[in-house]
Chains A and B, each alone.
Chain A
Amino acid sequence: MMQSVSAQNRKRIAKTAHFVGLFIAMSIICIPGLWIVLNSFRPTVEIMAKPPVWIPNELNLDHYRAMFGGAGEGGVPVLTYFRNSMIISITSTVIALLVGMGGGYAFARYHFKGKSAIFVGLMVTRAVPGVALSLPLFIIFARLGIIDTHFGIILAYVAMNVPFTIWLIDGFMRQIPKELAEAAEIDGCTRWQAFWRVEFPVARSGIASAGIFAFLTSWNEYALASQLSRSTTSKTMPVGLLDFTSEFTLNWGGMCALAVLMILPALVLTFLVQKHLIAGLTFGGVKG
């Protein structure tokens, strides 16, 4: 009896400890994000206050209003940036996914000469920090005349994302027994049909998670985009944040407001596909 009570207590203590640990970890992760959201809704005075004002006295939409307002009122072309970001992220994600599906499938299913060398080569390109490439990229793009175009940035992002999508999709495809495609072929499918009607739907979760990662990488990327875009024709939202800096001042409130707008689509997207994302990331644990 005594033993079971102490075992119960120990369990309760462990549970509390877990909870506290989790709370601290989540605070560290979430508070900066929440601080941004909070700051986007309150006056600059309060943002700058020292010591910090934890509980806001006043919440308003001034920063948002100013952001969407004219140039003289501290406005920035938010909608243009949003559109640029969308076009660039979606296009590069779709291309990276298509290439990734083809490449991942080939790596998972076929034997060919130099397979492992090519695979390692692809992974090595991920080891080079993107910023290190920004100057050579800038020079080449400038010569080609594709600086400050959607095409240029999409090209850079596809190159950045493809190794990753290939690697992820290869992993998911490997988990799908090859007998599934064989059964489909015997059932009358061509290899192509077997892929689209059987292997693709089974790998859907994995492909969706690869897509999310690719999209978020493109959506959040700053370093390369800041080099390759020059004007509103191609500036993405992360680059647009810089519009709030000027020689002597930093418009923290405006920056936070734009940051919130930037987080929203990513949040919505992740929420929409979270079921797939979880299924995709835990694929190995699910028995078919």
Chain B
Amino acid sequence: MAQVHLKNVVKKYGSLEVVHAINLDIEDGEFVVLVGPSGCGKSTTLRMIAGLEDISGGDIEIGDRVVNDLAPRDRNISMVFQNYALYPHMTVQENLGFSLKIAKFSQSEIDAAVQNAAEILSLTDLMDRKPGALSGGQRQRVAMGRAIVRHPDVFLFDEPLSNLDAKLRTQMRVEIKKLHQKVKSTIVYVTHDQIEAMTLADRIVIMRDGHIEQIGTPLDVFEHPVNTFVASFIGSPPMNFLEAQIDGGKIILQDGTALTMPAGYAANEGQKVTFGVRADNIMPQNHAMPAGNNMALVEMEVSLTEPLGTETLLFAELAGSEVQAKMLNPRPVQNGERLTFEISLDKCHIFDAQTGNALKAQ
């Protein structure tokens, strides 16, 4: 087990810089998820930690060692790949034991370690099969088993669930979380799926274009996004954004609707801002909206509904933009129906219209 430190780590391909001097400190035993849209540099960062990509600048430390120039085999890490990368010519047993065999452990030690990993991941019935004869979920478990057999310092997961169907993905997500509770190793996990990030992580690292946008616990990044990118990336459905201007200490939407400032935010008079509100914080009146101090009422026409069972998503227009609202304890709603919605303003966010950064009160 070990800490991982990234200090001003840079990755360049020729003259193209894809990761820009990122800093990240990962605690021993922590589950950190790197999340971001494709091409944000998250996989590259993971591969640099693994040693599969050279770093162009900065330092990577695992434990107390600077590992910049160490080969992957000398870093005591293990990795689960998106396509599992199981050795197709070996049985599950051989796949699991391969790393120990390379490290020249005795057969009895290998058997014991493999047996142990197989039990943790309930693979004992599949030991003689080859990867080709396994289902997606089983391959995934073998890949994880191969990773835990060696008791590495750090586990690296590169989008391990993206090849699975939705149901299996949820199931494996739980298994990964359980696995972490069992082995208590440091885990760095890459995904583009914000739900995976939220559910698995101790801390989330949100990346965009080779920069780290925000690091924080799942609730932290959900409740206090530092900019519009994080706000729209984390949470489902994505946060609604409305253009507005500050006038007389109030937020004035484009149709003239005036809203009180959310708690914790401050903006200059006349400043152009983006008003952000999640669907969870706009609800029709009398639909179980938790009571708050700072509520606003707006009337909107519903243009589309998406019933999800426990809740219904309502699409409506507010101040010239489409917004999504939520209805708990749903009742049927007709398209075109006008409803009065409550907005819980203290849960809303104010961003600078130009930079997109949150306008937090100092």
Residues of A within 8 A of B (CB): 177, 179-180, 182-190, 193, 197-198, 201-202, 204, 287-288
Contact = CB atoms under 8 A, between A and B. Distances in A.
Given A179-B81, A198-B87, A202-B89, A186 B50 contact: yes
B89 A201 contact: yes
Contacts of B85: 177, 179-180, 182-183
B71 A182 contact: no
B222 interface: no
Interface in B103-137: 103, 131-132
In this complex, which of A180, A188, A190, A193 has the most chain B Cβ atoms within 10 angstroms of its Cβ? A188
A187 B52 contact: no
A186 B88 contact: no
A188 B72 CA distance: 7
Contacts of A189: 73, 102
A185 B156 CA distance: 14
A202 B73 contact: no
Contacts of B51: 185-186
B240 interface: no
A204 B87 CA distance: 13
B73 A186 contact: yes
Contacts of B99: 187-188
Given A179-B83, A180-B87, A188-B103, 20 more contacts: A179-B85, A183-B86, A183-B87, A184-B98, A185-B51, A185-B52, A186-B72, A186-B73, A186-B78, A187-B78, A187-B98, A187-B150, A188-B150, A190-B73, A193-B102, A198-B89, A202-B89, A204-B89, A288-B88, A288-B131
B73 A188 contact: yes
B347 interface: no
Contacts of A202: 87-89
B132 A288 contact: yes
A88 to B, nearest CB: 32
B289 to A, nearest CB: 48
B146 interface: yes
A288 B87 CA distance: 9
B253 to A, nearest CB: 50
Interface residues of B, number: 25
In this complex, which of A179, A186, A189 has the most chain B Cβ atoms within 10 angstroms of its Cβ? A186
A224 B73 CA distance: 49
A197 B86 CA distance: 13
A183 B102 contact: no
In this complex, which of A193, A198, A287 has the most chain B Cβ atoms within 10 angstroms of its Cβ? A198
A288 B139 CA distance: 11
A182 B87 CA distance: 11
Contacts of B78: 186-187
A186 B155 CA distance: 11
B130 to A, nearest CB: 10
A165 B250 CA distance: 75
B190 interface: no
B246 interface: no
Contacts of A190: 71, 73
18 contacts: A177-B85, A182-B52, A182-B72, A182-B85, A183-B79, A183-B81, A185-B52, A186-B51, A186-B78, A187-B73, A187-B98, A187-B146, A187-B150, A188-B73, A190-B71, A202-B87, A288-B88, A288-B132
A182 to B, nearest CB: 5
A198 B103 CA distance: 15
Interface in B55-81: 71-73, 77-79, 81
A237 to B, nearest CB: 36
Contacts of A183: 79, 81, 85-87, 146
A197 B131 CA distance: 16
Contacts of A186: 50-52, 72-73, 77-79
A198 B146 CA distance: 15
